[in-house]
Structure 1
Amino acid sequence: MSEKPKLTYFNGRGRMESIRWLLAAAGVEFVEEFLETKNQLSKLIKDGCLLFDQVPLVEMDGLKLVQTKAILNYIAEKYKLRGKDLKDRAQIDMYVEGTMDLMGMFLMYPFSPPEQKKTQLASIIEKATTRYFPVYEKALKQHGQQFLVGNCFSWADVQLLEAILMVEEKKPDVLSSFPQLQAFKERTSNIPTIKKFLQPGSQRKPPPDDAYVATVMSILA
């Protein structure tokens, strides 16, 4: 029996959270090692574990995987969450790139100066509701299927649900004008593996707080 994937990152969301989501959606159990000191990161770099001297790091199948999109691609391909053919994969990749752009804004938000946060959050919400969510709403309405691509559950669906829940944490009624996305959220949240990941006590991480930001900054300083 193969060992569980090992995830090395800070004890928080960051760039590792989408990886946790995708493994959980695929029903894959994993273990985690959290970086708490600068020395831990330095040792990983010295030992040659990090190709570009940065985390996230995922160790699985005898590989030391770095670079977030490369890791996600590997997991999606391995667990058949990348569609049935090249055309499906192209569509999935486009949707994924879109949600990554949106979630990237949330990734940087906790590290912004306090005086900028209110304006920055308003800008992120505005982009979510005018640039990103309408695309997914239209796609689901036009093809009348349960999932974004090929009526088959994929990486794109996992990432979209993650993005929806992330925005809802800041604006609970954000889906009020998006009935297709409301139904999508309900549907995908009840997929057994995802439902388990959304339960209290899972390896899903909470929104970043000041302590998390301080830890990350001290390690990367």
Structure 2
Amino acid sequence: MVHYKLSYFDARGLAEPIRLLLHYVDDEFEDIRYTRESWPEVKENLESTVFPVLEVEGQKVERGYHILRYLAHKHSLAGKDTWEEAQVDSIADYNREVYLELAPYIYIKAGYKQGIVEEAKNDVFLPGIKRHLPTYVKILKESGSSFLVKSGVTWVDFVLAEFLFTMKNMEPEVMKEYPELEAYMKRVYSLPRIKEYVEKRPTREV
């Protein structure tokens, strides 16, 4: 059996879609989490501080999307053909752009960055949500399935479900305006083995 080690901070962040995928395919893995308190000391002994990192039989894959694509191809979760793979990659890249646009607010709200929460909410977060969440609704409707592409579950579903969960954590009321996305997020979290993990996982805002 392949032995996986996933290293990241003690947060959901970029590693959580990977954790969801590994639970979904029922692959055992060592979930290594570094706390804020331990990080300065741990950092001194690491070869690289690029996270997340997946170690597979002594070899390492760095960065969230690279890891997700690697695992998705191993477990037939990258799309049924090259067209769907392109769709999946496009949605993932779009989601990364949206997250980066909203990041100033997310980091302030989560306490990682100084700033005025209400100001960032009104100037960055709410306009961005109104601009981008309808796009996800459109993608879901056009897929003709309950997930982001026609053939069913792919790795980008874990990315979007986690993104939506973070948005709901930030401002619970925003998801009420998009019931399709709320239902979609719950659908992903109800997948086999993911449901059990989500119910027991540590509570983290991001």
Pair 13,146 (structure 1): closer, same or farther in 2 beyond 3 Å: closer
Q: TM-score normalized by structure 2?
A: 0.82
Which range is displaced more, 84-93 or 151-160? 151-160
Residue 21 of structure 2: aligned partner: 22
Compute the displacement of 1:107 (Å). 6.1
CA contact (8 A) 1:17 1:205 kept: no
**SS of structure 2 residue aligned to 1:199:** helix
Matches within 5 A, 1:127-146: 127-131=128-132, 133-146=133-146
Which range is displaced more, 29-38 or 188-197? 29-38
Give aligned-pair identity as a percent: 27
Provide the aligned C-alpha RMSD in A: 2.3
Residue 44 of structure 1: aligned partner: 46
CA offsets per residue over residues 86-124 of structure 1, 9 Å max, x none? 1101100111112223344276443221x3332223422
For these two proteins, the number of residue pairs brought into alignment is 197
Residue 127 of structure 2: aligned partner: 126
Higher relative contact order (CA 8 A, sep 6+): 1
Unaligned runs of 5+ in 2: none
Unaligned runs of 5+ in 1: 209-221
Pair 56,141 (structure 1): closer, same or farther in 2 beyond 3 Å: closer
Pair 29,129 (structure 1): closer, same or farther in 2 beyond 3 Å: farther
Compute the displacement of 1:151 (Å). 3.2
Matches within 5 A, 1:178-189: 178-189=178-189
Which range is displaced more, 185-194 or 103-112? 103-112
> Distance in 2 between the 1:42 and 1:107 partners?
28
Is 1:70 equivalent to 2:66 in the alignment?
A: yes
CA offsets per residue over residues 159-218 of structure 1, 9 Å max, x none? 111111111112223233323223322322211222122112x3x55125xxxxxxxxxx
Q: TM-score normalized by structure 1?
A: 0.78
**SS of structure 2 residue aligned to 1:163:** helix
